[in-house]
Amino acid sequence: MIFSQVLAWFADAAHWRGSDGVPVRIAEHLYYTVITVLIASAIAVPLGLLVGHTARGGVLLVGLANAMRALPTLGLLTFLFLLFRSQGVSTVVALVVLAVPPVLAGAYAGVQTVEPGIVDAARGMGMTSAQRLFQVELPGALPLLLGGVRSAVLQVVATTTVAAYLGLGGLGRLLLDGLRSGDYPQMVAGALLTAGLAVVLDLTLAGMQRLAVPTGVQLSAASAASRGAG
Amino acid sequence: MLNDIGSYLSSASNRAKVLELLGEHVVLAVLPLLIGLAVAVPLGWTAYRMRWLRAAVLGTASVLYTVPSLALFVIMPSILGTRILDGTNLVVALALYTSALLVRPVVDALDAVPGHVVAAATAMGYQPLRRFVAVELPMAVPVLVAGVRVASVSNISLVSVGALIGIGGLGQLFTEGFQTQYLAPIMIGIVLTVVLAVAMDLLLVGLRRMCSPWARVGVTE
């Protein structure tokens, strides 16, 4: 019964038009996701690479990232809103706080997994510190780094629905407005759309991860994985 | 700000409410952790023993983990037939996340048990089930606890999202603070959530030390 109601909701052309239609909500959702993940990466990637490269402050960094993970996003959102009185700023800041730890952990762990022997060889070949970082450690770190970005994107997509509580758009509107008016089909439609968006984005990023990681690194990761399983 | 917190907590009814919400938060976070663990261990064992099931189980788990929490909370009543304000919705949804998160560590941990240890146990006459409980599971404890720690922090943080559907432990302090435009309950809620997450983490680290005495001696192989 609920199934046919949800189908009817999706079939209703009115839900696909206008400023509160499904395409606009998806666009808003993607907008917040992209902005926050970009800002978070701009902060976390250099920091993680630097700490991994210099091998200093790793314990502090991991501790900081874990502490940030414990912060409840809804609490942070409401707190920032009462502080800044701006839905946009508080949403973006809270989501950036959410997205930084996985990217940071990915970048740092990525550099750490590069075999010390390879870095030593690069040093022996006369590479400078910056050359080693960009030509050896960064390509080697890419699989885990992009894995971190992927998990940040998933978390931000999921949590942007919560941010709708402050009154902004995105697919969370369908969930929260449906909840308020007791419109069950709309809530289920919102849930399906958000889950679908998360799955599509995850698959896209998985594809990009394959394209972006150098073939040599992929091969060595694959052979390491098969060694581990065997 | 600190004065606000002081004056908020000076009311006995507020203190009682915060304590009650804290208790609710603990139950809503810990119960799914236990259920999720109880589901993930046999499921992971099955996926470990039956290779053809592995891809299906791990694939389902990773898709399930992409479903946003608020979306899952909201559609739970239509799946379970519960009322929207029922705590069961939250517990079942978080238990699903926990088991999805833990299945992979269980399989990985079982994979990592050295073959000669399993062979030795088999040669000593251990049947598969007893060998699993007495040999493979204890050896998997460190990896398993690492997974449980992640799930514990994530559950404690996600419970507060439940406040948006009207049941969410300390999360209710966030919605209350937002509606009354008052920072004190929000700050109390954030601090207590973080303290709770840290306390649970320390507890789990202690449990791991208790359950893997060999690691303390420094003999792992």
The ipTM value here is 0.83
- The alpha-carbon gap from A178 to the nearest alpha carbon of chain B, in Å, equals 10
Minimal CA separation from A141 to chain B, in Å: 22
E strands along chain B, which residues?
Answer: none
> What is the mean predicted confidence (pLDDT) over B184-212?
91
Average pLDDT, chain A: 87
Asked whether the predicted pLDDT for residue B220 surpasses 60, the reply is no
State how far residue A155 is from chain B, nearest Cα, in angstroms: 8
Place of tokens 């990232």: A65
* DSSP tag of A133: I
User: Which one has a higher pLDDT value, A49 or B84?
Assistant: A49
**Confidence (pLDDT) at B218:** 54
Residue A27: pLDDT band by 50, 70, 90 thresholds? very high
Structure tokens at A105: 């952990």
For A130-176, how does the pLDDT look when each residue is reduced to its tens digit (9 = 90+)?
899 898 898 888 888 998 999 899 899 989 999 899 988 889 999 89
Distances B182 to A228, B165, B174 between C-alpha atoms, Å: 53, 21, 9
Closest Cα to residue A109, out of A144, A142, A137, A63?
Answer: A144
Taking the Cβ of residue B107 and every Cβ of chain A, the question of whether any pair is shorter than 8 Å is answered with no
Tokens, residue A164: 């709708």
Of B68, B173, B190, the CB nearest to A71: B190
| Least confident segment among A131-140, A211-220, B124-133, B168-177 | A211-220
Cβ of B179 under 8 Å from any chain A Cβ? no
**What single-letter amino acid sits at B216?**
R
Average pLDDT on A91-100 reads 94
For residue B34, is pLDDT > 70? yes
Residue A118, judged by CB atoms within 10 A of its CB (0-12, 13-18, 19+), counts as: middle
The label of the residue with tokens 């435009």 reads: B181
pLDDT (mean) for B167-175: 92
**What is the dihedral sign for C-alpha B52, B53, B58, B61?**
positive
| Cβ-Cβ contacts under 8 Å, B184 against chain A | none
SS3 B168: coil
pLDDT at B212 over 70: yes
**Chain B residues near residue A161 by CB distance under 8 angstroms:** 68, 70-71
Chain A interface includes B79 (CB < 8 A): no
Report the percentage of chain B scoring pLDDT > 70.
96
Using pLDDT thresholds of 50, 70 and 90, give the confidence band for residue A222: low
Tell me: the pLDDT tens digits for B58-90? 888 888 887 888 888 888 888 888 887 888 999
- Closest CB to A179: pick one of B67, B74, B154: B74
B60 DSSP assignment: H
Q: With an 8 Å Cβ cutoff, is B146 touching chain A?
A: no
Confidence of residue A228 (pLDDT cuts 50, 70, 90): very low
Give me the phi and psi of A21, to 5 degrees please. -75, 165
